[in-house]
Structure 1
Amino acid sequence: MQISVTTGDFHTMKKNVAVIFILIMLSCPPAARCLGTDMYVVDIPALNVRADSNEKANVVGIVKAGQKVLALSSAGGWTLIETADGLEGWVSIRYLSTDPPSEIKDEPAAAQPTTLREKFQAVTIENQSLKEENIGLTTRLNEQTIQMGAMEDSFQALKKDADAYHQLKDTLVQKETELKEKNNRIAAIEKKLIDQYTAVAIKWSLVGAGILLVGYMMGARTKKKRSSLL
């Protein structure tokens, strides 16, 4: 069986295919028309990349404003993307655009090394930069080590001063206790001396009174004798 296709039939089929393609394109959201192409993050400083196409899904990463991503599929206002470093997840369609930001449009493409010599030079420059960064980190580490040593010395000095202070405080408390005991002994001795002085004073007072009494009695007797003689 031989099928013949006329020129008119061919144009009709071509027109139908074009209409079907246009209808398919119009039935998809704007972001879905660009699936499999590069898109850019716009209108937000940082956009959460989620594990599923809903706002409650876990955040697996972020993409920043102007970052280029690859659109893989689309569903319900969400687009599945993949970044250059392998991050894959869902983001909101409204923050994606096929047009790069102006600063990215105007930025000239960086020259990529092509020859082995250029690649070697690029690696050498990067290695030198890493060495300088390592030297800087080592210097800061040494400075921090010195600071830590100084802080340790200060801590030990403070600890030594604290020990000396506590020792001096203990000595002071001990001396205060000894002084209190000495004051108590002095007070006891003073009381004993006062008691002895009082006893001696009373004794001598009694002796004096006795002498006066004896003298008075002797005088009275002598006076009586004289009176009897007269």
Structure 2
Amino acid sequence: MAISLMKMNLKTLPGYFMGLYLVIVSSFIFLCIPSTVQAEYLYVIPTAEIALRSGKGTEYRVVAVIVNGSRVQLLKEDGDWSMIRTSDNKEGWMPKRYLSASPPLKDVVASLQSERDRLKKQITDLRKQLNDVSEARNQHEQDLKACILDRDKFRKSYDSLKEDAANVLNFKNALSETAGELRELKHKYNIAEQENEHLRNNSRIKWFLAGGGLLLAGWIIGLITTRGRKRRPTLL
């Protein structure tokens, strides 16, 4: 600080002391003003009606009369007095000793009764929900039993269809084998028919040749016989 003062110019020295003076005065004013508290709500304790005054003292005029148990907003405190704001936005001072953070007994009782009613209603609703859940559970159990029965029926039907499918497959295989055998028999029949036709053709040819041979033999015999008859007179 001394070094700074030595470096200062004489023209700036009065301004420096003026700034220091303002800082000291501001600090003094800040320390002397009443303490301001964060806005909070208090209750007037059960007693006679309390006068709300325009200043911190009984000599100030009465702004309003506060009924005990009233809920007020604390604005600030100064010694034994508190500045408050009522529910109808009236502001004033009242003795600090008549304020409490705890609500009056009647409000507590009313709050407990309201909470009791709320809990009773909640219990009633929960019982109703429990009954609904129980009914739904019973219905679900019945549906589950029905589903199990249907599942067993479907399983039996599936097993039966599976067995039928296996039988159909076996029958199809047997039918395929029979069709193969039938084709083979038909092929053999066609071959036999061709052979029979060939044999019939050969038989016809043989009979034709035999008939032709007999006819030729008869013709030759007839020819020989005719010649023999013609030669006999000549020999006589």
Tell me which interval the TM-score lies in, with the shorter structure as reference length: 0.3 to 0.5
- Normalised to the residue count of structure 2, the TM-score between the two structures is 0.43
- Normalised to the residue count of structure 1, the TM-score between the two structures is 0.44
Larger radius of gyration: 2
